[in-house]
């Protein structure tokens, strides 16, 4: 019975993501109840993802560090600084929208980026590499961004938050790798599909809590929510489109898909521990809206990825 449910979730992964978004919007009581458990849910998702991927696929060859680190430095340091420079030249350097753009593009990939890659039929192991490298490098890549945005608060708080996240990733992923070795050293196709379904259910559940701030905002100021949502879609999808167009004909075409997923699906919540309350308030609605393009990426962009990667 359980395996049948997990298999069904794997087969209908996109529908599960949509149901998760709907739950976040339509079930505010449930969403608020899940908020305190979000760190535990993210850790659980990491364990399940590592269990599904396995150590060998996640780590890959040592030579991958060259392209992986280059991609991380460009995405997490080059893109946000370029965005800040462009917005400053346009006269919007101090606007909340600029802060949202810079933070969203400076953050590492979300924990669920591997799940997004798997749903789109991309290489989950490569995606795991980008996710781990991006998180490990974040304490360093974020420093120039913080220097340009002093309103974010003390540098040490964001750096310590990144280091704590790195420890959580190491423990959670390590647990998943050990469980894989003990119980699924050579998983059958049916077992892989069940693990895919389990990760989809976990990924879809997390978004309910992440969107807790969005429901009351829709009731009080729906126009503002619409503008934040449009900005979130523009940031996420333009980053993915530009990355795919840049890499689809080059030497990195084999990893263009995972890099694009990492480019447009970022863990902006890592900054929340360091933001002053007066800066945090307007961005909470944006963070809720930020979940929409990320969770809808496998629903709205599969043809873009197939076209860009030459699958059709």
Q: Residue 269 has what pLDDT?
A: 75
Question: Using alpha carbons only, what angle is made at residue 168 by residues 164 and 174, rounded to the nearest 5 degrees?
Answer: 145
Q: Residue 274 has what pLDDT?
A: 54
Q: Residue 179 has what pLDDT?
A: 92
Residue 111 has pLDDT above 80, yes or no: no
Whether residue 234 contacts residue 60, with contact meaning beta carbons closer than 8 Å, is answered with no
Q: Residue 163 has what pLDDT?
A: 77
Residue 84 has pLDDT above 80, yes or no: yes
Q: Residue 280 has what pLDDT?
A: 63
Across the range 65-73, mean pLDDT stands at 81
* 5 Cβ contact partners less than 8 Å away, ≥ 6 residues apart: 197
Q: Residue 112 has what pLDDT?
A: 84
Total residue length of the chain = 312
Distance CA 93, CA 215 (A): 29
Residue 9 has pLDDT above 50, yes or no: yes
Q: Residue 64 has what pLDDT?
A: 62
Q: How many CB atoms sit inside 10 A of residue 19's CB?
A: 15
pLDDT band at 54 (very low <50, low <70, confident <90, very high): confident
Phi, psi of 226 (to 5 degrees): -60, -45
Of 76-85, 125-134, 287-296, the range with the lowest mean pLDDT is 125-134
Q: Residue 117 has what pLDDT?
A: 93
Element spanning 3, H or E:
helix 2-11
Across the range 173-187, mean pLDDT stands at 89
Residue 70, both tokens: 């280059």
Residue whose entry in the numeric block shows the structure tokens 């423990």: 171
Q: Residue 312 has what pLDDT?
A: 47
Distance CA 16, CA 251 (A): 35
Residue 51, both tokens: 């269990």
> Of the ranges 11-15, 35-39, 131-135, which is most confident?
11-15
- The SS3 call for residue 272 is coil
Give CA separation, 4 vs 17, 197, 203, 205, 242, in Å: 18, 10, 18, 19, 39
Residue 275 has pLDDT above 60, yes or no: no
Whether residue 197 contacts residue 5, with contact meaning beta carbons closer than 8 Å, is answered with yes
pLDDT band at 223 (very low <50, low <70, confident <90, very high): very high
CA contacts within 13 A on the Cβ side of 312: 7
Q: Residue 283 has what pLDDT?
A: 80
Going from the N-terminus, what domains does the chain have, and what CATH number goes with each? 39-189+213-308 (1.20.1530.20)
Whether residue 86 contacts residue 266, with contact meaning beta carbons closer than 8 Å, is answered with no
Across the range 34-45, mean pLDDT stands at 84
Distance CA 28, CA 190 (A): 35
Residue 64, both tokens: 């991958």
Residue 126, both tokens: 């490569």
Helix, strand, coil tally for the chain in percent (to 5): 85, 0, 15
Residue 62 has pLDDT above 60, yes or no: no
- The SS3 call for residue 266 is strand
- The SS3 call for residue 40 is helix
Of 112-116, 173-177, 270-274, the range with the lowest mean pLDDT is 270-274
Phi, psi of 229 (to 5 degrees): -65, -45
- Taking only the tens place, the pLDDT of each residue in 227-247 is 999 999 999 999 999 999 999
pLDDT band at 186 (very low <50, low <70, confident <90, very high): confident
Element spanning 152, H or E:
none
Across the range 269-297, mean pLDDT stands at 77
Q: Residue 152 has what pLDDT?
A: 60
Which residue, among 255, 290, 244, 274, has the nearest Cα to 97 in the 3D structure?
290
Q: Residue 246 has what pLDDT?
A: 93
């Amino acid at each position: 019975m359980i395996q049948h449910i997990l298999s069904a979730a794997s087969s209908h992964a996109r529908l599960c993501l949509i149901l998760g978004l709907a739950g976040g919007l339509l079930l505010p009581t449930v969403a608020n109840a899940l908020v305190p458990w979000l760190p535990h849910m993210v850790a659980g998702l990491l364990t399940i993802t590592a269990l599904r991927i396995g150590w060998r696929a996640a780590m890959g060859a040592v030579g991958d560090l060259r392209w992986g680190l280059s991609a991380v430095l460009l995405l997490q340091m080059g893109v946000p600084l370029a965005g800040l420079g462009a917005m400053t030249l346009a006269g919007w350097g101090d606007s909340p929208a600029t802060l949202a753009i810079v933070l969203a593009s400076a953050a590492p990939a979300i924990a669920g980026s591997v799940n997004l890659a798997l749903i789109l039929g991309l290489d989950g192991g490569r995606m795991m590499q980008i996710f781990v490298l991006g998180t490990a490098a974040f304490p360093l890549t974020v420093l120039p961004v913080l220097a340009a945005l002093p309103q974010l608060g003390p540098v040490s708080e964001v750096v310590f938050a990144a280091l704590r996240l790195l420890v959580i990733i190491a423990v959670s992923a390590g647990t998943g790798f050990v469980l894989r070795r003990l119980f699924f050293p050579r998983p059958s196709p049916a077992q892989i599909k069940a693990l895919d379904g389990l990760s989809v259910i976990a990924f879809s559940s997390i978004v309910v809590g992440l969107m807790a701030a969005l429901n009351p905002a829709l009731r009080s100021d729906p126009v503002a929510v619409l503008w934040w949502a449009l900005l979130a879609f523009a940031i996420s999808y333009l980053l993915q489109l530009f990355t795919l167009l840049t890499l689809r004909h080059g030497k990195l075409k084999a990893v263009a898909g995972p890099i694009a997923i990492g480019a447009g699906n970022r863990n902006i919540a890592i900054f929340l521990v360091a933001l002053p309350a007066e800066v945090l308030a307007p961005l909470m609605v944006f963070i809720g809206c930020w979940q929409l393009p990320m969770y809808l990426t496998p629903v709205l962009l599969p043809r873009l990825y197939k076209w860009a990667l030459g699958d059709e």
